[in-house]
Amino acid sequence: MGLALDIAVTHIRSRLRQTLVGVLGVATGVGFSVMMAGLMEGSQRDFISQLVDSLPHITVSDERRTPPVQPAAEVYADVEISNLSTVDRRRGIKNPLAVISEIEGWAPARIAPSVRANILLRQAGRDVGAVMLGIDPRREILVSNVASKMVEGQLDNLLKASNAVILGARLAERLGVRVGNTITISSSGGKAMTATAVGIFRTGVAQIDDSQLYALTRTAQILAGQTGLINELRLKADNALEARELATRIEAETGYKAVSWQEAHEDLLNAFNIRNFIMYTVVGAILLVASFGTYNIISTITHEKTRDIAIMKSLGLRAAVVRRIFVIEALIIGFIGMGAGFLFGFLMTQALGSLEFRSPYGDATHLPVIYAPLHYALAGSIALGASFIAAWLPARKAASVNPVDIIRGAS
Amino acid sequence: MSGPLIEARNITRVLPGEVETTLINGIDLAINAGEFVAITGPSGSGKSSLMYLLGLLDSPTSGDILVEGRSTAGMPEDERAKLRLETLGFVFQFHFLLAEFSALDNVMLPMRALEKRTPAEMEAHAMDLLTRLGLKEHAHKRPDQMSGGQRQRVAIARALANDPKVILADEPTGNLDTASTDQVFGIIRTLVGEGGRSVIVVTHDPHLAARASRRLHVVDGKLAPIPTE
């Protein structure tokens, strides 16, 4: 290895300009790959974390995946019954405290019961549909970060006034509501009440900020016209990534539909997978193009060094040693390019991460970027692999040189 | 070992192609320890081809070449390379030194490939050889910083690096002026017999050939009677 390494180092040192071009090619490829991966995954993680932080990891509703089997159908299994009316059951989760207690017994998660109701908000002659979430502020902090997302007022303000509500920022803007204003709320069942806005929150998730408001459980129950109603349990799992498995078990044990955040945003996660596939394809293409530079350099060196190769072989150097010389040359270029690319990529990622963006709906934010060792490892390995492959063909050609052909030609 | 160092048994070398060219045509010969053999012949007669075959740089189309009694017919290339590295040393018409390496590094190259000495021993031995050939002051110069004669002497030192039993020189003075020719040929002459070493020199110069202990004359790929001068 020592001899091959020495010869390889001497070759690339004697061709500094070419070596520099090769190194720059690999460095650019690696740098852009690292930056791109950091930016893409950074934005993805930021989006998911906003989603995961703002929403419960699992939502257990009073619905069921499949409608319950009707007693008549159970008795007359072979008889076709048409136009069968289902029994009008009392809404909500039956005995919610028992269900909560059961889930809390085994699930590594925190639970908050709530009442979800579709409502209509009326303010200054405008009607806006929204979702009211009846909560207990003391338990709500266990499952959501809405308390930390308040831009005006506090979550506890719900306890300080009767019929108090806290609105999403975009919803408040649409209605022109400010803290202290009174609004009229009516439920789908026709019940109406007057409520006071005691706070405004902004989660950063448009879907929530645009259509959700919080009230006390009792207020939501009054609007829903059902005392003691709890139609939703919201859970925050200790590990957000286990939400899907927990939801499956909760559903199996309680019979109620339990939807994990992954299931709720399946289409989004699939889109991310496609986006990642595209990203890695582009990254691979960048590195492939960089490897052409390495191929070009090694090809040129082997071409220029044909006579030296013949001499070394005539002296008794094995073909494998000759091959190794050129592979080492490419790997040296690859290694230096990789190191420079890491630095370049890191600096570009940092520069991008420092850029500030202002949104009309939110605070000024920086581009979300991440520094993942995996990105560096991936870009580095692909660059080295590409350098190796780029060198292999010319190296193999060099090793197959017949010394007599060259010596005879030179003579 | 009592047999010849190198023995050619009815070797033939034919270059394939649309029209086949016979370079060597059924030659038998033996090179014994301590011999100084000159191979002469007109241009294109096949003398260099014969040397390449004897030096295992090329393989005969038929026949066999034995090195220290060991057949090389069908021998894998890596094994032939090892045999070359251990047993044979080459000097070509052009010095064929590696341009980016110093004279010392060039001489150490075959030793490093063989890996039988420690780095310190390799350097000391290379330095000894260069000193012996009057190149001590030039040990750290690159080939482009030396004269033609000096480069050829470095090439001789490189050929001697692994203490080979046979030195094969292909027109080693063909590219040198008269003074350098005498000097280089004189050096080659002194190598003969050291530890039973044989030297095979390809030359078209009858005066140089006359200084060899044996002369082989090649015409049309065959050994021929030595012409009277």
Backbone dihedral angles phi then psi of residue A383, each to the nearest 5 degrees: -65, -45
pLDDT tens per residue, range A16-70: 888 888 888 889 888 988 998 898 888 888 877 777 777 789 999 988 877 666 6
Q: Is A145 exposed, middle or buried (0-12, 13-18, 19+ CB in 10 A)?
A: middle
Q: How far is CA B2 from the centre of its chain?
A: 22
Interface A-B, measured as beta-carbon pairs within 8 A, has a size of 73
Give the distance from residue B182's alpha carbon to the nearest chain A alpha carbon, in angstroms.
Answer: 21
Nearest Cβ partner for B110 among A2, A315, A411: A315
CB of A174 within 8 Å of a chain B CB? The answer is no
Q: How far is CA A304 from the centre of its chain?
A: 50
B→A contacts (Cβ < 8 Å), by residue, are 48, 52, 55, 57-58, 77-78, 81-86, 88, 90, 92-94, 96, 98-101, 109-110, 112-114, 158, 170-171
Give the C-alpha separation, A159 to A164, whole Å. 8
Per-residue confidence (pLDDT) for residue A115, from 0 to 100:
94
- Pick the more confident residue, A38 or A1: A38
pLDDT at A87 over 90: no
Average pLDDT over residues B164-183: 82
Q: If residue A92 lies in a helix (H) or strand (E), which one and from where to where?
A: none
Token representation of residue B155? 């090439």
Three-state SS at A4: helix
Nearest Cβ partner for B113 among A308, A319, A321: A321
Task: Write the CA distances from B203 to A205, B181, B182, B207, integer angstroms.
Answer: 90, 12, 13, 10
Q: How far is CA A21 from the centre of its chain?
A: 36
Give the C-alpha separation, A57 to A304, whole Å. 63
Per-residue confidence (pLDDT) for residue A218, from 0 to 100:
92
pLDDT tens per residue, range A238-265: 888 889 999 999 999 998 999 998 898 8
Sketch out chain B's domains with CATH numbers.
6-223 (3.40.50.300)
